[in-house]
Amino acid sequence: MIIEGLAIGALINTVYNLNKAVEMDERALKKYAKAFEQHEEAELLVKRKAEYTDKRLSNVAKKKRAIIQNTVPRFTKVYGQIQKVNVQNKAEKREIILKNSTERLSVLNAISISVKKEFTDKEFVCGLITKGFARTMVMDSEKYLSAANNQMRASNVVYSQAQSIGEIYDAIAGRADRIAKLLMAMNALFVKSITETERVITTNGLDVRRYSEYDKGILMTCVNIAVAMSDIIDVPVVDEDGVLCDSALKMIETGEQYIKQMNSLIES
Amino acid sequence: MKQIKVNQKCSGCGLCIMNSSYLEEDLEGNAVPVPGLAIKEGDLEAVKKLVSECPEKALQIKETGVAAKPGIAGIQDIIADLNKKCNQLSVKQITSSDVRFNVKDYPLAIPHSNKEYCREYTSESSARSAAKEEFNRLCYSESAYRPLLKKVFVEYKVHVLKPFYICQDVPDSFYYEYNEKIRAYLNDAYAEICGLIGNDRIPESWKNFSLYLSEKEWSIEALRNFDDRSDKSGIFTYLKSLPHSSFNDYVEYILYDYDKRYVGEGLFGKSKYIKMWYFYGLNDRINEFIQHLTWAFNYRADEIEEAATNFINSALKSFEEMLKKEFNLKILKLQELVK
């Protein structure tokens, strides 16, 4: 499983207090069998939910990995050209305003530099790609997770109701799906914008004087989308212990709002 | 007809899903074609663009369909193809290796006695009686071993046999895959027919398909109640037939000893003691009993598997007959609709 803490949390610790002094007649045996069957069914249900949640978490990792491997390198190339258009004509007052974006693009910039690094699913899901560029840092977080798991085992975490565990898994899978949907929409927008920017630069070259206000708007939009993407790319689904990240919710809502606005702009 | 196909190179980026209604996401996040959708002529250019823009080159437009002629004449090809598929349809029977019974997968709960080393018996005979009674209570009596057997059978039923007695249209059911297969055939046929003669001749409901055995079917009931066989399995009978596994064989090796307890002073000031007896080694005998029970399960594993296999194959045979019959009815209905 991507997050081991979730797997441990799925253990249902049930103690059967079978009073062996009681005569095990047919009725009692049937009751026992039914109770035991319900226990097994509950465990199976939790196991299925855990597997499903793991798949949905993997899906988030998949979407992020696809963006990093396919879209970010394209943007990096285009951004280099945008900067050339800007730098070459700095003296001209009509340069494309890129201030405030460079810092916020540092996430994407750093990702593109280390694009050859193989991020693990856990790093994507827990929002560790910006924290884990140094391999040692990733190993530290894995050690931490292992220690946390040992502690949970020792304390014998007990879930009294299979349904509660199921609800937890449902919530995590729901959050994962929401993030995956946002990533897909952002990526589609980003790719469209990069393609349009490439077209504009190919048509107009590097001389900013050839750019109409509309053309400049296309380039700026591309950079703005990249800034939004750099905020969203590292949104965690859960933390390293498998707990939903409330702090990420605001970012997700902002991202969804952004997509809505951009789509209505495009349609108009 | 033309349909989109997705190969293994798909990275799940979702670009094609966002830009086309011909693709959707599967459980793993990869793109899959929407079942039963043929690419309309007017959408072909857009789909070609989509295919060229896939970063992994995972998409292809393929010529599918079986109709060699246009219009109603082509539908006869489709019907012939469906008939061929119906004749070739079979539900594979299982073997006992598909329903392996391995008692190691269902660990037997080992009873434990807290009465070992309890110095509460004033004679050796009372200690012996107590030890025998405790062993009987925890292992050898019906109220002890029947739940142990029942537990293993219930676990086997739920973990191995359950897919065969789920009679609902859910992926957990063994029969779901066959329903999906038929649905795929009907979806593709429907898409091709609509391409040939339009959407209004065949109702969309024609391609719906969901067929499961009744829960009252005797083989399904037998599987659902498979744990009832725990009493008739002969496992405990076999255990008792093993050498050194009678009740007396176990209790014979329980050990006894005593401590002297001070009870006061006698008439002449002499200290008085009584012997307080206890037993030990009982938990070792219990472990031995559980080991023998495990052997007994292993000995009977073949019979358990055989019983399960017979029930399941009977259910599968009934299911195959029903499946072919229903599929055939769909084809006949189609023939009526296109007359």
Report residue A260 as tokens: 């809505």
Report the run of H or E that residue A53 belongs to, with start and end: helix A26-66
Mutate one of A22, A38, A59 to test the B interface: name it (highest B CB count within 10 A).
A59
- pLDDT of A192 above 70: yes
Report residue B152 as tokens: 């293993």
Spell out, as residue ranges, where chain B has pLDDT lower than 70. Answer: none
Q: Alpha-carbon distance B8 to B30, whole Å?
A: 9
Which is more confidently placed, B249 or A168?
A: B249
Q: Alpha-carbon distance B232 to B236, whole Å?
A: 9
- Per-residue confidence (pLDDT) for residue A106, from 0 to 100: 65
Q: Do A48 and B154 touch (CB under 8 A)?
A: no
- Per-residue confidence (pLDDT) for residue A158, from 0 to 100: 39
Which is more confidently placed, B327 or A14?
A: B327
- pLDDT of A144 above 60: no
Amino acid at position A1, single letter: M
- pLDDT of A130 above 70: no
Distance from CA of B150 to the nearest CA of A (A): 7
Residue A154 pLDDT level (bands cut at 50, 70, 90): very low
Per-residue pLDDT tens digits for A69-99? 889 888 888 888 888 876 555 555 444 555 5
The answer to ipTM > 0.85 is no
Q: Alpha-carbon distance B138 to B144, whole Å?
A: 5
Per-residue pLDDT tens digits for B265-299? 988 888 889 999 999 999 999 999 999 999 999 99
Percent of chain A whose pLDDT exceeds 70: 63
CATH number of the structural domain B1-64: 3.30.70.20
Which is more confidently placed, B89 or A231?
A: B89
Q: C-alpha angle with apex A227: A225 to A233, nearest 5 degrees? A: 95
Using DSSP, state whether B218 is helix, strand or coil: helix
For chain A, the average pLDDT equals 72
Distance from CA of B220 to the nearest CA of A (A): 17
Determine the structural domain holding residue A244 and report its residue range.
4-267
Put simply, whether A207 touches B (Cβ < 8 Å) is: no
- Per-residue confidence (pLDDT) for residue B303, from 0 to 100: 94
Q: Can you tell me which residue has the tokens 């509309």?
A: A214
Q: Alpha-carbon distance A217 to A204, whole Å?
A: 14
Q: Do A29 and B159 touch (CB under 8 A)?
A: no
- Per-residue confidence (pLDDT) for residue B125, from 0 to 100: 95
CA distances, B80 to each of B7, B67, B318, B339 (Å): 29, 10, 25, 15
- Per-residue confidence (pLDDT) for residue A230, from 0 to 100: 83
Per-residue pLDDT tens digits for A34-79? 888 888 888 888 888 888 988 998 899 899 889 988 898 888 888 8
- Per-residue confidence (pLDDT) for residue B232, from 0 to 100: 85
Put simply, whether A187 touches B (Cβ < 8 Å) is: yes
- Per-residue confidence (pLDDT) for residue A129, from 0 to 100: 60
The beta-carbon neighbor of B143 closest among A20, A71, A183 is: A20
Which is more confidently placed, A255 or B235?
A: B235
Q: Do A191 and B147 touch (CB under 8 A)?
A: no
Q: Alpha-carbon distance A18 to A16, whole Å?
A: 6
Distance from CA of B251 to the nearest CA of A (A): 19
- Per-residue confidence (pLDDT) for residue A76, from 0 to 100: 86
CA distances, A206 to each of A74, A90, B168, B339 (Å): 18, 12, 64, 67
Q: Do B150 and A36 touch (CB under 8 A)?
A: yes
CA distances, B208 to each of A14, B170, B205 (Å): 43, 15, 5
